[in-house]
């Protein structure tokens, strides 16, 4: 069973290392997206550099690769195991696949270990494990993004909210409530770590916004 968990982690990492923003940017003749805009290989920078259509596709693929990795992990853990053994190993399969696919997205082996910030991929992991919690995090993040016009604020806040929700509404995805909580904390820490520069800009009041108001545009012209 230990070897199965290791296989799950490796496969999930390799799946996570597939970065659609880098691939799409090169296919569209725009070069490496990591050398443009914010330098991040994710949905928000794709929106800035390539536009809405490519950004939507990147978002979808980043979510789907997480879903695929977790479901594949749940399948692999059934190989040659009894129902009781599968129940015991379920938590470790979820942790290995979820953490593995996010590690791959953030530090992809195919692209010099320089990837994205893992927000969309984390959302995919959360949705496939416990869709109700995932939906709450998504709505919360989108609401903050629309109100503040800052993607980073919504992403960071939703990441912090996730372990809180797991503690309050543990559900039935994990057999161990405490392993589930530990998993949620790890995912949140990944997001916070990858948003270090964003957090600094938020504190300084200099974070980039998705769009400018008329007043902000006028102020720039003065």
pLDDT at 215: 61
pLDDT at 32: 94
Burial of 57 by CB count in 10 Å (0-12 exposed, 13-18 middle, 19+ buried)? middle
* CB burial string 4-38: b at 16+ within 10 A, e below: bbebbbebbbbbbbbbbbbbbbeeeeeeebbebeb
Could you read off the pLDDT of 111-156 as tens digits, one per residue? Answer: 999 999 999 999 999 999 999 999 999 999 999 999 999 999 999 9
Q: Is the pLDDT of residue 87 over 90?
A: no
Mean pLDDT of 17-36: 95
Count of all residues that appear for the chain in the document: 222
Angstrom distances, CA of residue 5 to CA of 1, 110, 221: 7, 22, 58
Could you read off the pLDDT of 196-209 as tens digits, one per residue? Answer: 999 999 999 989 88
Q: Is the pLDDT of residue 26 over 90?
A: yes
Q: Is the pLDDT of residue 221 over 60?
A: no
Kindly indicate the confidence band of residue 213, based on its pLDDT and cuts at 50, 70 and 90: low
Out of 16-25, 76-85, 207-216, give the one with best mean pLDDT.
Answer: 16-25
Tokens describing residue 108:
């992809």
Please state the domain extents for the chain: 2-221
Q: What is the dihedral of CA 196, 201, 202, 203, to 10 degrees?
A: 90
Look up residue 165 and give its DSSP letter.
H
Whole-number percent of the chain with pLDDT over 70: 95
What whole-number distance in Å separates Cα of residue 140 and Cα of residue 158?
Answer: 6
Contact 16, 121 (CB under 8 A): yes
């Amino acid at each position: 069973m230990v070897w199965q968990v290791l296989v799950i982690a490796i496969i999930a990492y390799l799946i996570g290392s597939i970065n659609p923003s880098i691939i799409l940017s090169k296919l569209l003749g725009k070069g490496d997206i990591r050398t443009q805009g914010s330098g991040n290989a994710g949905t928000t920078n794709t929106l800035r550099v390539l536009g809405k259509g490519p950004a939507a596709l990147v978002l979808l693929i980043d979510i789907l690769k997480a879903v695929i990795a977790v479901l594949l992990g749940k399948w692999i853990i059934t190989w040659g195991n009894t129902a009781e053994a599968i129940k015991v190993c379920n938590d470790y399969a979820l942790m290995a696949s979820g953490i593995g696919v996010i590690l791959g997205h953030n530090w992809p082996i195919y692209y010099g270990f320089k990837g994205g910030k893992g927000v969309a991929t984390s959302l995919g992991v959360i949705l496939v494990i416990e869709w109700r919690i995932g939906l709450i995090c998504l709505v919360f993040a989108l609401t903050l993004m629309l109100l503040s016009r800052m993607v980073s604020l919504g992403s960071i806040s939703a990441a912090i909210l996730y372990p809180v929700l797991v503690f309050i509404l543990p559900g039935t995805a994990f057999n161990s409530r405490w392993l589930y909580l530990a998993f949620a904390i790890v995912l949140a820490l990944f997001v916070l770590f990858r948003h270090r520069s964003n957090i600094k800009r938020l504190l300084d009041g200099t974070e980039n916004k998705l769009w400018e108001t008329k007043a902000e545009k006028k102020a720039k012209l003065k």
